[in-house]
Amino acid sequence: MPEGIYCNKQTVDTPEGVNKLLSDTSGNTYYQEMEVLDVDTDLLWKTIQNTCKSRIRTWLEICAHCGMCADSCFLYEVNGKNPKQVPAYKIQSTLGEIIKRKGKVDNALMRHAMRVAWAECSCCNRCGMYCPHGIDTGIMFGYLRGLLYNQGFVPWELKIGAGMHRAYRAQMDVTDEDFVDTFEWMVEEYEDDYPGLTVPVDKQGADIMYTVNAREVKHYPEDLAEAAILFHLAGESWTVPSKGWEQTSLAMFAGDWAACKMQVESVYEAMERLTPKRMVGTECGHAHRATVIEGPYWAGRKDGQPPAPSIHYVEWLAEALNTGRLRVDPSKRIKELVTLQDSCNYIRNHGLKRATRDIMSHIVEPGFFIEMAPNKEHNYCCGGGGGFNGIGKFRKERNIALIKKRDQILETGAKLVIAPCHNCWDAIRDLEEEYEIGIRWSFLKPLLIKMLVIPDHLKPEE
């Protein structure tokens, strides 16, 4: 059988298509079909010839096989230093092999490559900083994911995720109406506590256009209310777009570059329509990477920048705290040992380490903030990045991957972990569920709300 009913080379573009794929419980049939899925070797080789140019080819070629990348990879370390987990080996035995054979590879190699690309690399890009030749294996795995997606060799949940973006321009089945409704509903719920709280939808020329993660709308709408409250207390002129509000991109994890383009263009269109001074995204790492760092290239923007200057939530928060627009009541600062998770996607890959530490200095009583070791750009992935968290097939591998973060947290002695990233937050929650080390974890927004000084004119009447 060349193509399966569920597992095939077709993209999923409609709600019906997504539902059909979802109806295959846990992707059981999907993965069965994958075992006999044909490889279109001509297409594979043609794609490689068109897209694999000097950077990646040179990387593959000049890799001195020195093995210095081994220790940089947390998956190598938590898997008992298995030599098969050395980044250079992982990429040479997959992408390297495909190119060496000029794309003439069989189904087994493609499935092997899929396992390596999604269960043995979270695209955290840490190894890239430890290679004398500047070889970034994470980038190559990103590229390999694209090739695999193109051929239908992609984990079930990510095929669904990419399909969601194609069908809904969101990572979940949340429509534009759902988004606006939910946001308004949440603001209604909190307006008694914060008089004057509103959610300005589609306001032209606001200082800030706020974009979110569809998961907040679907499962944690309090997060929307909290964002509204913090903008309100800081006196910001802000807005949310009724279309183009989803900042995340599971398509990026899937390697579905066309869907990435569609998704990010919907956000850029909102920027162009509403002409905000800046865009602020929610506390999500990959969303920031997709919309702010990689997005401009998918959308073909030559300057590598989004249409409006775009910052991560931690940058906005640090700025609001540093300038005094938000003030923390010193008596309400965190007075227990607390540590901070550096998200690869905006710390290592966008240099925002200072912003998060500024925030810590405002919200944590001096002496109670404990850094993980290593930290900042050298911090390890939470264990669930790059799509790892969501893939049922690789749950076991993901749970092993959490060990590095578990040990890092245990070493700090902190019982509270601040994780301003949805993926990290999820991974750390799962880590507690799996290993029960007695920690709590939190985004920044709920912590801030409890400790801010509310200006008199914004207080509710008693």
Whose tokens are 């706020």? That residue is 210
Q: Residue 101 interacts with other proteins (CB under 8 A)? A: no
Task: Give the C-alpha separation, 85 to 76, whole Å.
Answer: 5
Per the document, the length of the chain is 462
In this chain, which of 343, 389, 408, 412 binds other proteins, going by CB under 8 A? Answer: 389
Task: Give the C-alpha separation, 330 to 289, whole Å.
Answer: 33
Closest alpha carbon to 454 in 239, 194, 224, 200: 194
Question: Least distance to other proteins from the beta carbon of 426, Å?
Answer: 5
Residues 6+ apart with CB under 8 A from 100: none
Whose tokens are 């905000």? That residue is 276
What ranges make up the beta strands (E) of 297-395?
310-311, 338-340, 369-370
Q: Residue 437 interacts with other proteins (CB under 8 A)? A: no
Peptide bond before residue 221 is cis, with ω within 30 degrees of 0: no
Q: How far is CA 2 from CA 13, 35, 167, 224, 453, in A?
A: 21, 10, 26, 45, 63
Question: Least distance to other proteins from the beta carbon of 453, Å?
Answer: 16
Per CB under 8 A, the segment of 111-119, 127-135, 358-366, 400-408 that binds other proteins is 127-135
Alpha helices (H) along 63-175: 74-78, 87-91, 97-100, 107-119, 137-150, 156-168
In this chain, which of 220, 242, 261, 407 binds other proteins, going by CB under 8 A? Answer: 220
Nearer to other proteins, 94 or 239 (CB): 94
| Phi, psi (degrees; rounded to nearest 5) at 355 | -60, -50
Question: Least distance to other proteins from the beta carbon of 284, Å?
Answer: 11
Question: Least distance to other proteins from the beta carbon of 205, Å?
Answer: 26
In this chain, which of 189, 272, 329, 411 binds other proteins, going by CB under 8 A? Answer: 189
In this chain, which of 84, 100, 102, 325 binds other proteins, going by CB under 8 A? Answer: 84
In this chain, which of 10, 185, 272, 275 binds other proteins, going by CB under 8 A? Answer: 185
Q: Residue 102 interacts with other proteins (CB under 8 A)? A: no
Residue 381 CB neighbour total at 10 angstroms: 31
Per CB under 8 A, the segment of 19-27, 34-42, 195-203, 358-366 that binds other proteins is 19-27
Specify the DSSP class assigned to residue 56. H
Site string for other proteins, 297-336 (x = CB under 8 A): xx-x-xxxx-------------------------------
Q: Residue 384 interacts with other proteins (CB under 8 A)? A: yes
In this chain, which of 33, 120, 136, 216 binds other proteins, going by CB under 8 A? Answer: 136
In this chain, which of 86, 228, 230, 321 binds other proteins, going by CB under 8 A? Answer: 86
Question: Least distance to other proteins from the beta carbon of 132, Å?
Answer: 6
Whose tokens are 């306001």? That residue is 203
Question: Least distance to other proteins from the beta carbon of 233, Å?
Answer: 15
Q: Residue 81 interacts with other proteins (CB under 8 A)? A: yes
Question: Least distance to other proteins from the beta carbon of 222, Å?
Answer: 8
Q: Which helix (H) or strand (E) segment is 239 a member of?
A: strand 238-239
Q: How many residues bind other proteins (CB under 8 A)?
A: 87
Nearer to other proteins, 52 or 109 (CB): 52
In this chain, which of 349, 356, 375, 412 binds other proteins, going by CB under 8 A? Answer: 349
Q: Residue 66 interacts with other proteins (CB under 8 A)? A: yes
| Phi, psi (degrees; rounded to nearest 5) at 156 | -50, -50
Question: Least distance to other proteins from the beta carbon of 2, Å?
Answer: 26
Q: How far is CA 35 from CA 1, 38, 152, 411, in A?
A: 10, 9, 11, 43
Q: Residue 12 interacts with other proteins (CB under 8 A)? A: no
